[in-house]
A and B are shown apart, each in its own frame.
Chain A
């Protein structure tokens, strides 16, 4: 039996191969470009599944195409509470009887250039996030204390972090000393027409169906404050669209990708189904 080797790329050399699909909502593309050209780190805030990661991919492609005919390298690091500074910067590893220094992903991005994207940055411990401080001001260097060296950031290096203000508890907020190193772009759910186009494109469904899904989402998001229900994000709508395109009945697809995905409360599910059945023929 032949084995297909999975493609492997060193993390700092990963580039988006094709133009990612991204529909601008306001002037976020221009804002990001301006920040990039001025070496201003960017904070993307907004609910999960509203397109932050896609936006970063798109920008890495767009900025790269402008100067090199290919996307900028994009190093993505998913932050979590056990992420240590060594995980970002690098560590010594044992090699035979000696030790060998290995750069962490952040260090590689700093050396190699490109966008380093720290996703859900507040999840990281605060003592971890301070390692980015010298990178995110006028100094633009990364000190590596274990090597006793300082690495100047590549001309094309940009640090981007994301965070979801509503989702994490107030206990987990960004420190001001960290936060005020970034210019921020706020992301919300896209307006109905744009969201419908996104669903139609990503799920490969008709604009009519995509529009109904977007309407459903807009209605359910009305419940955010009234019922403390976090309405479905664009990603879930795309899932629903994909399931329908695959041949699943709209009712079953919505039940699976939306109703069950957003709440466990039977009463709320009942209400969500009422809304779905009103929009899709019940």
Chain B
């Protein structure tokens, strides 16, 4: 069991660092995704933007090598293979033209290359092993810091390789190839004498392939040669034959005395019974990727779009083919673009085409102008679920609690001076001293001296001799998003003041908003206040307490006063909606402050994956919504009173700001000072 590993390292611990590492080496973006327990035995292949790795490993070095190895494929040109380019260390056995080789649109030149072989799966697996070897050697030469850990991990891999001695000759040669690719030259084993020549030639080929300057074309030439050696071997054991000792230390020049194939594409071999069953298997090496896994289905008449996802070629045009049996999910690579920017959630089109549109199962559609449809991020599928959440904008009828504002001010009478001090410290930031002004509130000494000099010199004197404070054109819009989930009805526990006993979390939230209104009005920033809750994805409730355009009025105070705890915390659609409103503000600085009392949760959040995933699912969706906010130029900040918040907040807010307030009674003051800090940026 992976979890029993001592000193185990979790992918999440190194994820961000290694993402940056990968990006630096390959100049490509990537997301490192942990494999689930079920996927571990047969991991899905990497795609162009996603690398899947075990969630837990014995060392951080393993992760570094696995990630580095994948990135270096790009750096050292695996995918830039040129069919007609010569190799550096091998004479060319490839044909010098594409004559007779089927060529399709959207092919990479590697596709052409594999079409040379009758047994494409074997050629592809072999190419993987040889190219992986070249990559490791290349990496060890170029990255001295990887060389050590590469050889350490290789020798660990060698320790767990299967035993060669009982294998049929072809399988034995295949295993020898993998061991050679791990620099395992120490092996000695007994095998039929005819294997000895092939092994020593293979060793010679590895010698050349490991030399500095070897290119992907060298790996291709090596593939042709070793493929030829492999298919010449019987793939069943030869009973009764005499065995001789073979050592991997002996090498032979690869082009001397061997008749390499010259006919391309290779003619289909005569199929012997059992050939297919006894297919050669290259037992995988843990840190290397299974690039060619899907190419085994190469012959299948899959549409080219589907094939190209799993093959090396660049996507031609994007086409909308759903690959997953689930019609909602988009396979990540195909829609890389779509994933970078979420499906346009925004306003609902009521055109005629829409009327008749069939909605795929699960998608939500509405004609209600107060309802907004948002996507949701499914971290298990690594894709957005389109039209997944319905958010209803609701206004609150103001209650009679119009005394809230004055009550708040009275209750916080001890706080007010401190808050005012904070407010005052905000105000000057709005102003900047400017010099050489025609009027102003102070004299500009430098300008005065110049004027006096000019006067004595008898030249034109400038009368711009004042300094002034000028309002800097740096305006701020801030939206507050209040969690109105049922748990906000809990009383403010742990307070030493008995008077506080009866107060609930929501009351403190209300008070904080009152104070913020007072502050922001004074400073002159645009402010909006929203609340959210809900009862499932088709019922996300979004309360507009104060829109940006609303003036600070008794009605706003009444609305805030009338807030009541509702139900659950589906935070992500509310964030998306608030961001949508913020984006419309023509302000330089846009901030979103989310005030919450617990982790995001909803009754049907990620329900398809079972209960153990619900919490993670919610966290990941929220995290994605926060990422979108930042992508839209909004600075989000999450403030929570959930003391157990650390574990999920770190994940959810990654590198954006969040804070846990242990004493809820401190919330109002903390909000104000945070606001000031954020504002100062």
**Residue among B28, B29, B457, B654 with max Cβ neighbours from chain A (10 Å):** B457
Contact call B454/A146, Cβ cutoff below 8 A: yes
Contact call A146/B23, Cβ cutoff below 8 A: no
Stretch from B137-145, B196-204, B233-241, B594-602 forming part of the interface with A: B137-145
Instruction: Known contacts A223-B23, A275-B25, A281-B148; decide if A94 and B453 are in contact (CB<8 Å).
Output: yes
Nearest CB of chain A from residue B261's CB, rounded to whole Å: 39
Q: How far is the CA of A147 from the CA of B20 in the complex (A)?
A: 60
Question: Main SS of chain B's interface residues?
Answer: helix
Query: Which chain A residues border B142 with CB–CB below 8 Å?
Result: 215, 279
Flag whether A267 is at the interface (Cβ < 8 A).
yes
Query: Which chain A residues border B145 with CB–CB below 8 Å?
Result: 276-282
Nearest CB of chain B from residue A32's CB, rounded to whole Å: 31
Flag whether A91 is at the interface (Cβ < 8 A).
yes
Residues of chain B from 18 to 42 with CB closer than 8 A to chain A in the complex: 18-21, 23-29
Q: How far is the CA of A30 from the CA of B144 in the complex (A)?
A: 39
Flag whether B115 is at the interface (Cβ < 8 A).
no
Query: Which chain B residues border A99 with CB–CB below 8 Å?
Result: 453, 456-457
Flag whether A98 is at the interface (Cβ < 8 A).
yes
Contact call A91/B143, Cβ cutoff below 8 A: no
Contact call A274/B64, Cβ cutoff below 8 A: yes
Query: Which chain B residues border A145 with CB–CB below 8 Å?
Result: 460
Flag whether B146 is at the interface (Cβ < 8 A).
yes
Flag whether A69 is at the interface (Cβ < 8 A).
no
Residues of chain B from 393 to 450 with CB closer than 8 A to chain A in the complex: 435-436, 450
Flag whether A270 is at the interface (Cβ < 8 A).
yes
Flag whether B522 is at the interface (Cβ < 8 A).
no
Q: How far is the CA of A101 from the CA of B148 in the complex (A)?
A: 69
Contact call B64/A278, Cβ cutoff below 8 A: yes
Q: Interface range on chain B: under 10, 10 to 19, 20 to 34, or 35 or more?
A: 20 to 34
Nearest CB of chain B from residue A14's CB, rounded to whole Å: 27
Q: How far is the CA of A98 from the CA of B455 in the complex (A)?
A: 10
Query: Which chain B residues border A222 with CB–CB below 8 Å?
Result: 23-27
Contact call B453/A274, Cβ cutoff below 8 A: no
Closest Cβ neighbor of A268 among chain B residues: B20
Flag whether B17 is at the interface (Cβ < 8 A).
yes
Query: Which chain B residues border A277 with CB–CB below 8 Å?
Result: 145
Flag whether A26 is at the interface (Cβ < 8 A).
no
Q: How far is the CA of A99 from the CA of B452 in the complex (A)?
A: 10
Query: Which chain A residues border B21 with CB–CB below 8 Å?
Result: 271, 274-275, 278
Contact call B143/A267, Cβ cutoff below 8 A: no
Instruction: Known contacts A278-B64, A280-B145, A281-B144; decide if A86 and B19 are in contact (CB<8 Å).
Output: no
Contact call B146/A278, Cβ cutoff below 8 A: yes
Contact call B24/A270, Cβ cutoff below 8 A: no
Query: Which chain A residues border B27 with CB–CB below 8 Å?
Result: 222, 226
Contact call A267/B68, Cβ cutoff below 8 A: no
User: CB-defined interface of A61-83 with B at 8 Å, one 1/0 digit per residue?
Assistant: 00000000000000000000010
Flag whether A150 is at the interface (Cβ < 8 A).
no
User: CB-defined interface of A219-231 with B at 8 Å, one 1/0 digit per residue?
Assistant: 1101100110000
Flag whether B655 is at the interface (Cβ < 8 A).
yes
Contact call A223/B457, Cβ cutoff below 8 A: no
Instruction: Known contacts A223-B24, A279-B144, A280-B144; decide if A270 and B16 are in contact (CB<8 Å).
Output: yes
Closest Cβ neighbor of A265 among chain B residues: B655
- Inter-chain contact total with CB atoms closer than 8 Å: 96
Contact call A267/B64, Cβ cutoff below 8 A: no
Flag whether B300 is at the interface (Cβ < 8 A).
no
Flag whether A93 is at the interface (Cβ < 8 A).
yes
Flag whether B361 is at the interface (Cβ < 8 A).
no
Contact call B19/A271, Cβ cutoff below 8 A: yes
**Residue among B435, B456, B654 with max Cβ neighbours from chain A (10 Å):** B456
Contact call B20/A223, Cβ cutoff below 8 A: yes
Total A residues in contact with B, Cβ cutoff 8 Å: 38
Nearest CB of chain B from residue A83's CB, rounded to whole Å: 12
**Residue among B20, B145, B435, B436 with max Cβ neighbours from chain A (10 Å):** B20
Residues of chain A from 96 to 142 with CB closer than 8 A to chain B in the complex: 97-99, 101
Query: Which chain A residues border B68 with CB–CB below 8 Å?
Result: 278
Query: Which chain A residues border B459 with CB–CB below 8 Å?
Result: 92, 146-147
Closest Cβ neighbor of A270 among chain B residues: B17
Nearest CB of chain B from residue A61's CB, rounded to whole Å: 37
Q: How far is the CA of A227 from the CA of B21 in the complex (A)?
A: 11
Query: Which chain A residues border B19 with CB–CB below 8 Å?
Result: 271
Contact call A267/B453, Cβ cutoff below 8 A: no
Flag whether A198 is at the interface (Cβ < 8 A).
no
Nearest CB of chain B from residue A196's CB, rounded to whole Å: 14
Flag whether A258 is at the interface (Cβ < 8 A).
no
Query: Which chain B residues border A282 with CB–CB below 8 Å?
Result: 145, 148
Nearest CB of chain B from residue A269's CB, rounded to whole Å: 9
Contact call A275/B24, Cβ cutoff below 8 A: yes
Contact call A267/B23, Cβ cutoff below 8 A: no
Query: Which chain B residues border A257 with CB–CB below 8 Å?
Result: none
Flag whether A272 is at the interface (Cβ < 8 A).
yes
- Our pick among A97, A146, A271, A278 for the contact of B143 (Cβ within 8 Å) is A278
Query: Which chain B residues border A281 with CB–CB below 8 Å?
Result: 144-145, 147-148
**Residue among B17, B25, B29, B147 with max Cβ neighbours from chain A (10 Å):** B17
Contact call B17/A271, Cβ cutoff below 8 A: yes
Query: Which chain B residues border A274 with CB–CB below 8 Å?
Result: 17-18, 20-21, 64
Query: Which chain B residues border A220 with CB–CB below 8 Å?
Result: 24
Query: Which chain A residues border B20 with CB–CB below 8 Å?
Result: 223, 227, 267-268, 270-272, 274-275
Query: Which chain B residues border A278 with CB–CB below 8 Å?
Result: 21, 25, 64, 68, 143, 145-146
Query: Which chain A residues border B148 with CB–CB below 8 Å?
Result: 281-282
Contact call A219/B655, Cβ cutoff below 8 A: no
Q: How far is the CA of A207 from the CA of B325 in the complex (A)?
A: 56
Query: Which chain A residues border B460 with CB–CB below 8 Å?
Result: 145-146
Q: How far is the CA of A162 from the CA of B193 in the complex (A)?
A: 73
Residues of chain B from 63 to 97 with CB closer than 8 A to chain A in the complex: 64, 68
Residues of chain A from 227 to 282 with CB closer than 8 A to chain B in the complex: 227, 265, 267-268, 270-282
Closest Cβ neighbor of A94 among chain B residues: B453
Q: How far is the CA of A276 from the CA of B148 in the complex (A)?
A: 14
Query: Which chain B residues border A280 with CB–CB below 8 Å?
Result: 144-145
Instruction: Known contacts A99-B453, A146-B454, A267-B17; decide if A227 and B23 are in contact (CB<8 Å).
Output: yes
Closest Cβ neighbor of B453 among chain A residues: A92
Nearest CB of chain B from residue A30's CB, rounded to whole Å: 32
Nearest CB of chain B from residue A162's CB, rounded to whole Å: 26
| Interface pairs (17), CB distance under 8 Å | A94-B452, A215-B142, A219-B24, A222-B25, A222-B26, A223-B20, A223-B23, A226-B28, A268-B20, A271-B17, A271-B20, A271-B23, A276-B145, A278-B64, A280-B145, A281-B144, A282-B145
13 A-B pairs besides A82-B435, A275-B24 with CB distance below 8 A are: A92-B453, A93-B453, A219-B24, A222-B23, A222-B24, A223-B20, A267-B17, A270-B16, A271-B17, A274-B21, A278-B146, A279-B144, A281-B147
